[in-house]
Amino acid sequence: MSGLNRREMLASLGGGFGTLALRGLLEKDGALSAEKSAAEKSKAQVRTNKNPLAPRPPQFAAKAKSVIFLFMYGGPSHIDLFDPKPALTKWEGQPIPVFNQNDVFRKGSKNAALPSPYSFAKHGESGMEISEKFPHLAKLSDELCVIRSMHAESNNHAPALFQIQTGDRLSGRPCIGSWVNYGLGSENENLPGFVVLMDRDGAPVNGALNWSNGFMPAAYQGVPFRPTGDPIAYLSPPAGVSREQQRARLDLLGKWNEQHRAQNPNESELAARIASYELAYRMQSHAAEAVAIEQEPESIRQMYGLDNKLTAHFGRNCLLARRMVERGVRFVQIYSGGNEGPKAWDAHDDIKKNHDLHCGETDLPIAGLIQDLKRRGLLDSTLIIWGGEFGRTPFAEDGKGRDHHAKAFTMWLAGGGIKGGTTYGETDEFGYNVVKDAVSVPDLHATCLHLLGLDHTRLTYNVMGRDFRLTDVSGNVLTNLIA
């Protein structure tokens, strides 16, 4: 039997890897453009388009046109909000039999069952069980699809945030908002395609990496909007510079950039930079109008809780999100919870104190957002996602708190082609393990892209010779959740 010896095999492999690397470098520089398939040329055209955010048709008929992601940073407790576990009362203070010491994230966590401090009731025609802490949202239960069987791969905030938002636990990948804008572009040339609205206490851990474009051009990154004043820092022109002067400067800069771009047609970063300059100029006229919520009638302001100090900040962000999707913005990410610890949904010390605060801040505004979108005929075309990076443990931490728990947690969807009044998946009697219809993060991402008319296996971006996608090498569309 003939074959390679060890040295021949290593030499062959080494040469092969070198060839792959060379191909990636040449491809990045456009030297292999003549060999590209029609599909690859199409993707390259998207990247080098003069306006990277120009609207593009979906790959197939879409249910939704835009997304509002309500991100409850810190890890909301599924067993206290949407997945009731009466068995915890029976086992109170006792070791639960499914406990695994490897799942303990903090030293203060002990295997002692901690019942929920909240009661649950059935709501709507579906009889969906929702905690007393969401009285306004509960009235809209027939609009919700609650997924009780989510699971993720990390109990640590930073990698867990990355996975939920980018599909990978490590930094450097584009987030879901960037993928959506890459695939579909924006319907409003005067506003960013991807807007980020933060909590009053600031950004979550990882900061701007949570809404990063990763290895895509900068045009696809999220743009944080400020709650007061100019929506974007440095948006207004400098004092003493007229709009005509600014336009003349921008035209000259654009001329030079276009000359350089003509000599470097495959430099997608330059195309994105040119588009960003033009977008910033147009936003000076249009962004201020988009955030002018004082134009809204008092009834709408009350619907979002703007007249209440507790709900005003998150309510304003929800109202801004409605105004954004109304104007063609493709993806809006709203954070509840900022900084760390009790300022986020990170209930290590006292689950009741923490969730009393954050549920109180968000319940009315979220209900107002759903109602407002529905009244305006926008709910059917707007996909709402609610959830955090993981859930909380059914056992106690320091007596009254709950630890991080990624093995089982809840997220819900609404609008945008989702089957309302649906509860999907199941956890065990303690909310510790998923026991039916497990849903991975790639499954969630694949389903969200599908609702937008994007096939997660075909929405790819080529980097160094490899086609990357949001769902990497897995993910299944949850067809049972789609109306």
- Evaluate whether residue 258 is within a structural domain: no
- Evaluate whether residue 266 is within a structural domain: no
Closest by Cα among 73, 83, 75 to 131: 83
- Evaluate whether residue 382 is within a structural domain: yes
pLDDT of residue 387: 98
pLDDT of residue 21: 46
Tokens, residue 42: 């199409």
pLDDT of residue 31: 44
pLDDT of residue 32: 45
* Neighbouring-strand partners of residue 392: 404
- Evaluate whether residue 260 is within a structural domain: no
d(CA 305, CA 300): 9
Which pTM was predicted? 0.85
Q: What is the CATH number of the domain that holds 327?
A: 3.40.720
Based on the structure, what is the number of domains in the chain? 1
Q: Which amino acid is at 288?
A: A
pLDDT of residue 476: 98
- Evaluate whether residue 127 is within a structural domain: yes
pLDDT of residue 325: 97
- Evaluate whether residue 183 is within a structural domain: yes
**What residues have CB less than 8 Å from 43, skipping those under 6 apart?**
460, 461, 462
pLDDT of residue 382: 98
pLDDT of residue 135: 98
Tokens 């990948």 belong to 173
In this structure, are residues 406 and 148 in contact, taking their beta carbons and an 8 Å threshold? no
Each residue's pLDDT expressed in tens, for the chain with a length of 483 residues? 455 566 555 555 555 544 444 444 444 444 444 444 444 444 444 444 467 889 999 999 999 999 999 999 999 999 999 999 999 999 999 999 999 999 999 999 999 999 999 999 999 999 999 999 999 999 999 999 999 999 999 999 999 999 999 999 999 999 999 999 999 999 988 889 999 999 999 999 999 999 999 999 888 999 998 766 666 655 566 666 666 766 676 667 667 777 777 777 666 566 666 666 666 656 666 677 888 899 999 999 999 999 999 999 999 999 999 999 999 999 999 999 998 888 999 999 999 999 999 999 999 999 999 999 999 999 999 999 999 999 999 999 999 999 999 999 999 999 999 999 999 999 999 999 999 999 999 999 999 999 999 999 999 999 989 999 999 999 999 999 999
**What residues have CB less than 8 Å from 234, skipping those under 6 apart?**
none
Query: Which domain covers residue 72, as residue numbers?
Result: 49-231+291-481
- Evaluate whether residue 33 is within a structural domain: no
pLDDT of residue 262: 77
DSSP code of residue 482: B
- Evaluate whether residue 310 is within a structural domain: yes
pLDDT of residue 53: 86
pLDDT of residue 50: 64
